[in-house]
Amino acid sequence: MVKQFGFRPFHRMHDGILIHITLDEWPADVPLPEDIKLLETDDGVVHPFWRIVLEPNRTIEAIGGIFQMNCSRDATSKKFEHVMQNVGWKSNGMLFQEERRTTIRYTHSIDDAYVEVSLLQSKDLETTRVTISRTLKHPYIPPVAEEEPVEANVEPALEEVAK
Amino acid sequence: MIALSYALTITTPSSQVARAASLAPGTEGLLKQTALHLSKMEGGASIGGFPGFEPPDDDERYKRKVEKSTATGEEVNTWVKEINNFLRQIANKNPGVTLEKILEKQGLTSEQITSFSNALKDVHLNASTRVGYGVQESTAKTLEELMRLLGVGTW
């Protein structure tokens, strides 16, 4: 991790960078229910991340976080459906339900962005762990290599003239 | 993701021995171990129809870590390394075969296969949030490389 003197701490990944963000910096286009909180573990709160992945022909921008709701999975699911629909995200039945986990994929009409929400109900049914990621894939066309400068050929040509 | 809404019926995939027979020897046990370790990071829930992880009853702290996802970053790093170890062996024993195909040969239904890959994606995100806070970049990188090798999308 590069920490000192930088604009803010970031982690160099094998294919890009990862920056931890605060809850205030969480993107407004992925709304969260009011009573949601960041997951608290035995070594503190787990902060969301903003990750930029650089691939040869595209840049992937991902936001991810782990949260907790003090209510059942069904109640959490309903709250998400409500807040997500308000800003144009649609699940269109992209829902995968298991005994204790539900995974919902939301897409947006204006671009290729998608949000995946995974809800994991605790055994005692009191809490739900919420894992959220928003992924944007930006196409990238590498710039065409510059032509070799003309000057590079001048010198040998002059030498030829001198002979 | 399957565009359906349904409840997953849990069966024991390992009982379908005839299909599993076409897998490289040892793969079945490795899949069970992978599912068990994924379950540890998924609150003890059943993954892909395999039995969920049951923490010891007499260890309340450990039970809480599993059931409430309160494990520290270092613990997450250790658990992900264990998953990486099993995935690596599965990939080595079945070169060029996707996880989906391997699980299919094991006898899992399409719903159970989705359950397995969704758990892997959850674990990937969990590891990513902890990079620099207990989870080593190399651990996250290995998980991503193995997921890619086995045809499981990370993003």
Gyration radius of chain A over CA positions: 24
pLDDT-derived band at A158, boundaries 50, 70, 90: low
Contacts of A115 in chain B (CB under 8 A): none
Q: Would you call A1 an interface residue with chain B, using a CB distance cutoff of 8 Å?
A: yes
Angle in degrees, CA A138, A130, A60, rounded to 5: 10
pLDDT tens readout for residues B39-91: 999 999 999 999 999 999 899 999 999 999 999 999 999 999 999 999 999 99
pLDDT-derived band at B20, boundaries 50, 70, 90: low
Could you give the 3-state DSSP secondary structure of residue B37?
helix
Measure in Å the smallest separation between the Cα of B100 and chain A Cα atoms.
17
pLDDT tens readout for residues B109-123: 999 999 999 999 999
Q: How far apart are CA A106 and CA A68, in angstroms?
A: 19
Do A63 and A119 form a contact (C-beta atoms < 8 A)?
A: no
Q: Between helices B137-149 and B110-129, what is the axis angle to 10°?
A: 160
pTM, to two decimals:
0.86
Could you give the 3-state DSSP secondary structure of residue B73?
helix
Residues near A71 by beta carbon (within 8 Å), at least 6 away in sequence: A35, A79, A127, A128
Residues near A26 by beta carbon (within 8 Å), at least 6 away in sequence: A32, A48, A63, A65
Residues near A21 by beta carbon (within 8 Å), at least 6 away in sequence: A47, A48, A49, A50, A63
Structural domain boundaries in chain A = 11-162
Structural domain boundaries in chain B = 15-149
CB atoms B45 and A122 under 8 Å: no
ipTM surpassing 0.90: no
Q: Which of residues 101-130 of A touch B (CB under 8 A)?
A: 101, 103, 105, 116, 118, 120-124, 127, 129
Q: What pLDDT is recorded for position A39? A: 97
Angle in degrees, CA A55, A134, B74, rounded to 5: 80
